[in-house]
DNA sequence: ATACCTAGTATACAAAAAGATACCTTTTTG
DNA sequence: CAAAAAGGTATCTTTTTGTATACTAGGTAT
């Protein structure tokens, strides 16, 4: 059975936040991106949220922030070496996540998607046998 | 560099929630547990929260709920077969998480812990460089 | 002189998640 | 008759997250 001996919460700490997955996705895919490029890539995010999520990732040394002292300002973000080490974990999460999605499809039918989880949950919460 | 091609969010969906990690930890460790045993194992959780987290895990077919139709009621929770398949992911998260913790310790000093992340973040948010 | 550029910050507000507390069920025990 | 037992639900309040909007800095182009 292999009980995991706790502390996967550390990874959660890093990834939790509405926009962190997308931000990471873009940085992992594109390498180095400016603040404004990230904004364009994630149209619905506000500056405040983008800044916040980036700062949290920077705190965990997942993302590096390079400031060019110019006017107008230029700031580039990229995945740190330490951050790259997380990619195997993300890959593992991704792979199992995919198979989990098809498992959910088997259970609840095809008209499922990650976004519609909540709606389904309500129905489910009602007692059944 | 190996860019993870997205959708690790599915795993986040399952694990996010203040009490999910602890609940899973106990179920993975102890096998089958009654509602009240979980409550005792996690003293600060309220019934409402425990129920909610369990229902969400049940929805994802990670946790199974077995009802004994007795008075007083008896309900047992356990990890499903599908849920056991997640243990490798949790293990990966756990392992990298541990190394990440020591990395943080190198960066910020020993008086660090998972719980004190936030306090540190505030200091960090202020511009540096 | 004014507008524009980028990468933010400040402030106020709305929405979502979590906490506190009380109540319900049905049978057995005192 | 009242209390206890286990596993909840209902309702309300508080806390945490996220959104919307306006504003800033300092130099360049018009």
Q: Map out the domains of chain B with their CATH numbers.
A: 7-124 (1.10.10.10)
Output the distance from A47 CA to C12 C1' rounded to whole Å: 16
Q: Are A67 and A78 in contact (CB under 8 A)?
A: no
What tens digit of pLDDT does each residue of B59-115 get?
Answer: 999 999 999 999 999 999 999 999 999 999 999 999 999 999 999 999 998 665 555
Q: Which of B38, B14, B44 is nearest to B25 (CA)?
A: B38
Q: Which of chain B's residues have a Cβ under 8 Å away from the Cβ of A14? A: 100
Q: How confident is the model at residue A129 (pLDDT cuts 50, 70, 90)?
A: very low
Better-scored residue on pLDDT, B118 or A106? A106
What is the distance in angstroms between the Cα of A88 and the nearest Cα belonging to chain B?
Answer: 8
Whether B2 has a pLDDT exceeding 50, the answer reads no
Strand D neighbours (CB under 7 Å) are: A 17-19, 44-49, 71-73, 125, 127; B 34-36, 47-48, 51, 54, 65, 71-76
Q: How many CB atoms lie within 10 A of CB B58?
A: 18
Output the distance from B40 CA to D7 C1' rounded to whole Å: 14
What tens digit of pLDDT does each residue of A58-72 get?
Answer: 999 999 999 999 999
Query: Helices A20-30 and A87-108 meet at what angle, rounded to 10?
Result: 120
Task: Give this prediction's pTM.
Answer: 0.89
- What's the CA angle centered on A18, arms A125 and A82, to 5 degrees? 120
Residue among B59, B85, B90 whose CB faces A8 most closely: B90
**From residue B41, how far is each of A41, B33, B44, B120 by CA, in Å?**
44, 10, 9, 30
């Amino acid at each position: 059975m292999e009980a995991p001996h706790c502390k996967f919460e550390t990874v959660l700490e890093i990834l939790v936040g509405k926009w962190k997955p997308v931000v990471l996705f873009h940085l992992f895919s594109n390498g180095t991106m400016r603040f404004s490029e990230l904004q364009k890539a994630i149209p619905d995010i506000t500056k405040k949220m983008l800044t916040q999520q980036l700062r949290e990732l920077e705190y965990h040394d997942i993302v590096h922030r390079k400031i060019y002292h110019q006017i107008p300002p230029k700031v580039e973000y990229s995945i740190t070496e330490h951050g790259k080490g997380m990619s195997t974990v993300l890959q593992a999460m991704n792979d199992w996540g995919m198979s989990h999605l098809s498992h959910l499809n088997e259970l609840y039918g095809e008209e499922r998607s990650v976004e519609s989880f909540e709606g389904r949950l309500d129905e489910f919460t009602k007692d059944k046998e």
